[in-house]
Structure 1
Amino acid sequence: MAHIAFSSTRQPAANAIFSRAGIGAPVAIELLPFTVRPVLTEADLHKAVAVRHAAYARHLPDFARSLEQPEAADHDADTMILLAESKADGTVLGSVRIQTNFRQPLHIEASVDLPLWLATQRLAEVTRLGIVEGRIGRQVKLALIKACFDHCEQNGVDTAVVSGRAPIDRQYEQLLFTDVFASREPVTLRHVGNLPHRIMYFDIASGQERWEAARHPLLDFFCRTRHPDIDLGRHVTSVWKHGLPRGQQAAGAVVVGLAA
């Protein structure tokens, strides 16, 4: 996974306009050179798989060989895959997968017993983040991360939980994630090539407040800028309509693994 650059990703002034949403500070509306949308067809899926495989092959070539074709989880009814594509020529720039726990346990639960306060919540695991190299890839990564946060908010998700291998776990710390386990010891994850990952969490409701307190460089991008090119289509996977997960709790969580 390329380094997350904690700097402005805003386009030149010609690509950004401002509108006032009620009373308060202006809200920036930023146009991106690419779009982010859900995968809708088998052709879309193969585009996502291709960029995923290429991204993993740069860092984990042995594990990447298992990602040359779509995985069974890609076809699950409780899975949503996001695709980033260039506006200029339609080139695929990145993808990420989100899987909920309404019909089956999360993949991460095959490797680690989550604490009860987390395991009984509404969960989703975000995995298989893959992006192209270069400056545009860093921008695409931030947009896909924002799309995951947007998905959390649209579906009433309360807590984000991530799995990150070294040195990616440091990037989660920069985003103000906290370790789920006090020991901070890495856990071997079967669905990510048996590689050790730290398990960390992020409270969605207090996220903006904490970013503001820390004067986080991504605050404006995540919270104060509307990106029309990130279009989830108010997409809600069918499993979100079937009520609460196994624990019958009203709260929710998202498990995020940025492994590429």
Structure 2
Amino acid sequence: MRLCFNPVGIGAEMVGMSMPAPVQLLGFRLRIAHTRQDLLAACSVRAGAYGRHLPQLQQSLLAPDDMDSDAHSSVLLCEEKRSGKPVGTMRLQHSLGGPLQIEHSVAMPAEVLACSRVELTRFAVSQGADPLVRLALMKAAFLHSRAAGVQLMLLGARSPALVRLYQRLQCSELFGAGASFPLQHAGGLPHRVLINDLRSVEARWRAAGHAWLGFMLDTWHPDIDVTRNPPASASADQALPLAA
């Protein structure tokens, strides 16, 4: 689900301020992929990032899959401003379209299935990219999910570093520390399953004085644009859905 919203309005609403939020410009732009060319750029980042550790998956990640063009999915694409080079990507799948991919591999508790949910997958950042790319992708996922009225965010993580990143954002392991499950949509590799309740996350971050609070909530980043509509320059034959 790709929603359009006014970043300035959201910034003021999120922090309860009457004045606009502080503005920070980034060295990259982050947006929704709208064309096949966009998705191929995202796939190049996926293949490069996953291929460093899982070379057996690299070839299969070079082309978009069916979920990339699903009406209830959005692919985030991050590009350097100077070079236009793609340096980061992530995919969000909304439960409005049916079971999430992770739910085909893991039996979720009833209280989870009773909520609206989004799953984050294909999270990839190019080697040597700006360190803020990873955090900006998480911010975009949070804003996009919140604008869509999503209650719960689900994530599968294989690497300890990614688990630590999610835990720093106050995600918790749904089935207890260290429990892992082979995920069909991730090559059958074991992943830990994490969850974040978006209904309470802002209050939790503020109560904890979270180190990333300013970046995630209190600053407007014009370079993070998760609007729904494709740019005017995108021709009809370029626009999604993307037939193979």
TM-score, normalised via structure 2 length:
0.81
> Which letter maps to 1:122?
S
The unaligned stretches of length 5 or more in structure 2 are 1-15, 230-244
Indicate conservation of the 8 Å contact 1:48/1:95, yes or no.
yes
Q: Hey, what's the Cα distance between the residues in 2 that align with 1:74 and 1:116?
A: 27
**What is residue 6 of structure 2 aligned with on the other side?**
none
**What is residue 22 of structure 1 aligned with on the other side?**
18
**What is residue 148 of structure 2 aligned with on the other side?**
155
Q: Does the residue aligned with 2:23 lie in a helix, a strand or coil?
A: strand
> Which letter maps to 1:81?
V
Q: Hey, what's the Cα distance between the residues in 2 that align with 1:33 and 1:69?
A: 27
Q: Hey, what's the Cα distance between the residues in 1 that align with 2:48 and 2:176?
A: 35
Indicate conservation of the 8 Å contact 2:139/2:216, yes or no.
yes
Q: Hey, what's the Cα distance between the residues in 2 that align with 1:75 and 1:27?
A: 34
Matching of residue 199 in structure 1 with residue 193 in structure 2: yes
Q: CA deviation at 1:212?
A: 2.3
1:185 alignment partner, one of 179, 184, 209: 179
2:42 alignment partner, one of 43, 48, 53: 48
Aligned length: 213
Identical positions, percent: 38
Change (3 A) 1:135 1:79: closer
Change (3 A) 1:44 1:179: same
**What is residue 134 of structure 1 aligned with on the other side?**
128
1:145-203 per-residue CA deviation (whole Å, 9 max, x = no partner) reads: 10000011101112222211240222222221112124651111111121111112112
Q: Hey, what's the Cα distance between the residues in 2 that align with 1:160 and 1:57?
A: 26
Matching of residue 80 in structure 1 with residue 78 in structure 2: no
Q: Hey, what's the Cα distance between the residues in 2 that align with 1:216 and 1:86?
A: 27
1:210 alignment partner, one of 184, 204, 207: 204
Indicate conservation of the 8 Å contact 1:49/1:68, yes or no.
yes
TM-score, normalised via structure 1 length:
0.76
Indicate conservation of the 8 Å contact 1:154/1:234, yes or no.
no
Q: Hey, what's the Cα distance between the residues in 2 that align with 1:88 and 1:199?
A: 37
Structure 1 vs Structure 2 CA RMSD: 1.9
The unaligned stretches of length 5 or more in structure 1 are 1-19, 236-260
Q: CA deviation at 1:96?
A: 1.1
Counterparts in 2 of 1:33-44, with a 5 A limit? 33-44=27-38
> Which letter maps to 2:95?
N
